[in-house]
């Protein structure tokens, strides 16, 4: 198996039997987080990063070129769920930290257990609509990653970015058109969400990409806070 670097530090590509897969170096050897395959390469263990389960991997394989680096970052993750994507960020993070916000107690229990093994993950049971409730526990971050299926996704992101994102910081927003409007065409919905981000919150759109090949009716938007 051949391991090659990608443009995202700490995310590698492995080629074997004509198949190419994304992987991260496993910080907790022997542990698979969501049933992903573990690969031994040159005596080290790597976890396969499934693009059908994680929108960051889907965005990378869909050709996005302005995805944020993860390695040294302080990250606020809205809608962290059981930690599928966050576990790969945890593998990559070096000196960084990830605050994971999730409002479902049942889901959060699993993320809490993950955070016991991975000390760079900080679980916070809270509603992302109410940043004031977790502001005592979160400090200024370099990156906000949001993956929540809510009708007011852009507004939730904007309020959190005003409160926690540093000037010049980046945002990764996964948008699910179906949770905003089932009648309008996905492209119209994505344009409206971008207009909210640009006009109401004055963020700069860096890149926009459909990730339909992996998640139907989803797109990813990368923004920068001026």
Ligand X SMILES: C[S@@+](CC[C@H](N)C(=O)[O-])C[C@H]1O[C@@H](n2cnc3c(N)ncnc32)[C@H](O)[C@@H]1O
Residues that bind ligand X (CB under 6 A): 54, 79, 81, 84-85, 101-104, 107, 127-129, 147-150
Residue closer to ligand X by CB (options 54, 210) is: 54
Please, what is the minimum distance in Å from the beta carbon of residue 199 to ligand X?
23
Residue closer to ligand X by CB (options 80, 223) is: 80
Please, what is the minimum distance in Å from the beta carbon of residue 147 to ligand X?
3
Please, what is the minimum distance in Å from the beta carbon of residue 165 to ligand X?
17
Please, what is the minimum distance in Å from the beta carbon of residue 57 to ligand X?
9
**204 bridge partner residues:** 224
Residue closer to ligand X by CB (options 3, 122) is: 122
The 10 Å CB-count burial string (b at 16+, else e) for 186-207 is beebbebbbebbeeebebeebe
Residue closer to ligand X by CB (options 194, 220) is: 220
Task: Provide DSSP, the chain.
Answer: -EEEE-SSTT-EEEEETTEEEEEEE-SSTT--SSS--EEEETTEEEEEE-TTT-HHHHHHHTT-S-PPP-TT-EEEEES-TTSHHHHHHHHH-SS-EEEEEE--HHHHHHHHHHHHH-TTEEEEE--TT-HHHHTTT---EEEEEE----TTHHHHHHHHHHHHEEEEEEEEEEEEGGGT-SSS-HHHHHHHHHHIIIIIT-PEEEEEEE-TTTSTTEEEEEEE--
Residue closer to ligand X by CB (options 148, 197) is: 148
Please, what is the minimum distance in Å from the beta carbon of residue 17 to ligand X?
27
Please, what is the minimum distance in Å from the beta carbon of residue 107 to ligand X?
5
Residue number with the shortest CB distance to ligand X?
A: 79
Q: Answer for the pair 86, 24: CB distance below 8 angstroms, yes or no.
A: no
Please, what is the minimum distance in Å from the beta carbon of residue 221 to ligand X?
15
Residue closer to ligand X by CB (options 176, 225) is: 176
Residue closer to ligand X by CB (options 173, 223) is: 173
């Amino acid at each position: 198996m051949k391991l090659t670097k990608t443009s995202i530090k700490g995310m590698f590509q492995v080629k074997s039997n004509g198949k190419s897969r994304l992987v991260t170096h496993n910080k907790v050897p022997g542990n698979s987080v969501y049933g992903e395959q573990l690969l031994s390469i040159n005596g080290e263990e790597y976890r396969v990063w499934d693009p059908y389960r994680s929108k960051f991997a889907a965005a990378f394989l869909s050709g996005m070129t302005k995805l944020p680096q993860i390695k040294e970052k302080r990250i606020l993750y809205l809608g962290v769920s059981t930690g599928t994507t966050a576990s790969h960020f945890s593998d990559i993070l070096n000196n960084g930290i990830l605050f994971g916000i999730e409002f479902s107690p049942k889901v959060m229990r699993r993320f809490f257990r993950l955070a016991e093994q991975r000390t760079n993950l900080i679980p916070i049971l809270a509603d992302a609509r109410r940043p004031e409730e977790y502001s005592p526990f979160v400090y200024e971050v370099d990156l906000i990653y949001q993956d929540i299926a809510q009708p007011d996704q852009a507004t939730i992101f904007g309020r959190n970015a005003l409160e926690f994102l540093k000037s010049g910081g980046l945002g990764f927003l996964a948008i699910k058109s179906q949770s905003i409007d089932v009648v309008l065409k996905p492209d119209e919905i994505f344009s409206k969400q971008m207009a909210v981000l640009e006009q109401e919150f004055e963020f700069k759109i860096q890149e926009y990409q459909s990730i339909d090949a992996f998640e139907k009716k989803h797109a990813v938007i990368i923004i920068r806070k001026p």
